[in-house]
């Protein structure tokens, strides 16, 4: 037994010295999956965009359509509104989870992420029922006199805001909560022992420590909102066509591959550019290691 163990130990030591354990081939399947499933479609999209539009036409061709320019403006407005409201709600929710007793905090956290177990399509249909004429939220809006023109919230930009915030909220809470968990409780106790009030501790210690998590959540929610399709498609109308809906119609019905490829390439470049800039300014990539 001892001799066998010595031989096995020597074999393992030799493998480590030679630079591996013999299982490096296990990395091949995920690498191929990443290459085919992620990089493949990106390369094809850029190739089709440049082939059918030219390098300059990738930018100029989509901007010649008023439908595209209007959808870009609506997409940016919706993404900014959703990001701001989600950040406020996510910050308040995270503070409630972190400052509440452990049992209450775990319950709140469980309720929030229970939405991940429910299909996005089911949640969207629930909002359709609530926002349609004479639905629950439509009646509340009328009772609060928020619907003065009588058109309702269904298929309007204000009607898109609550469902989008509801869907994006977990993506905001996760990075902020990771920053909150990284805060040393000893710092909070030291501040209180030195006479700092609860409000002062919150403003000068807790909120500044959530800065990196907040920026990570803001970037994630904003990027997801730029390309979100399901909820705007079901709850939006002719006056609320965002960029993802335009891409869907141009690809599925009109088969306008040149325009679709150009829009896809531009959207990808914008998203990557936003991430690189935000990462350089706020160190967002470091935040993902805490989640």
Range name among 3-12, 218-227, 255-264 with the lowest pLDDT average: 3-12
Q: What is the largest CA-CA distance in the chain?
A: 88
**What pLDDT score does 286 carry?**
66
Token pair of 180, please?
């909150």
pLDDT tens figures, 59-97: 888 888 888 899 999 999 999 999 999 999 999 999 888
pLDDT band at 1 (very low <50, low <70, confident <90, very high): very low
Mean pLDDT within 227-238: 85
**What pLDDT score does 165 carry?**
93
More confident residue, 289 or 259: 259
pLDDT > 70: what percent of the chain?
87
| C-beta neighbour count of 18 within 10 angstroms | 9
pLDDT tens figures, 106-154: 888 888 888 878 888 888 888 888 888 877 777 777 777 666 555 677 8
Q: At a CB cut-off of 8 Å and minimum separation 6, what does 173 contact?
A: 90, 93, 94, 97, 112, 217
Range name among 2-16, 82-96, 174-188 with the lowest pLDDT average: 2-16
pLDDT tens figures, 134-145: 777 777 777 776
**What pLDDT score does 50 carry?**
92
pTM (whole model) above 0.85: no
pLDDT > 90: what percent of the chain?
18
Domains of the chain, by residue range, sit at: 65-288
- The topology under which CATH files domain 65-288 is MetI-like fold (1.10.3720)
**What pLDDT score does 77 carry?**
93
Q: How far is CA 201 from CA 50, 89, 208, in A?
A: 54, 20, 10
pLDDT tens figures, 38-48: 888 889 989 99
Residue 54 to residue 62: CA distance in whole angstroms: 12
| C-beta neighbour count of 97 within 10 angstroms | 19
CB 209 within 8 A of CB 179: yes
* Per-chain mean pLDDT for the chain: 81
């Amino acid at each position: 037994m001892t001799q066998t163990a010595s031989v096995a130990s020597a074999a393992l030591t030799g493998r480590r010295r030679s630079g591996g354990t013999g299982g490096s081939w296990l990395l091949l399947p995920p690498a191929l999956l990443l290459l085919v499933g992620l990089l493949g479609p990106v390369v094809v999209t850029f190739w089709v965009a440049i082939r059918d539009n030219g390098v300059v036409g990738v930018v100029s061709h989509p901007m010649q359509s008023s439908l595209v320019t209007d959808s870009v403006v609506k997409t940016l407005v919706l993404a900014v509104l959703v990001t701001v409201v989600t950040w406020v709600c996510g910050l308040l929710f995270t503070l409630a989870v972190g400052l509440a007793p452990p049992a209450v905090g775990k319950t709140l956290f469980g309720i929030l992420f229970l939405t991940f177990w429910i299909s996005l399509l089911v949640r969207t249909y629930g909002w359709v029922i609530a926002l349609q004429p004479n639905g629950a939220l439509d009646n509340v809006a009328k009772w609060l006199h928020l619907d003065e023109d009588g058109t309702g919230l269904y298929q309007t930009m204000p009607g898109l805001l609550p469902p989008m915030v509801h869907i994006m909220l977990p993506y905001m809470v996760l990075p902020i909560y990771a920053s909150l968990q990284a805060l040393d409780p000893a710092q909070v106790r030291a501040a209180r022992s030195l006479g700092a009030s609860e409000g002062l501790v919150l403003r000068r210690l807790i909120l500044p420590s959530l800065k990196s998590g907040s920026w990570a959540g803001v970037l994630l929610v904003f990027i997801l909102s730029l390309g979100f399709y399901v909820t705007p498609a079901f709850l939006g109308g002719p006056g609320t066509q965002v960029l993802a809906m335009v891409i869907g119609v141009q690809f599925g019905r009109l088969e306008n591959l040149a325009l679709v490829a150009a829009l896809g390439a531009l959207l990808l470049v914008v998203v990557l550019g936003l991430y690189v800039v935000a990462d350089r300014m706020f160190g967002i990539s470091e935040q993902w290691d805490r989640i």
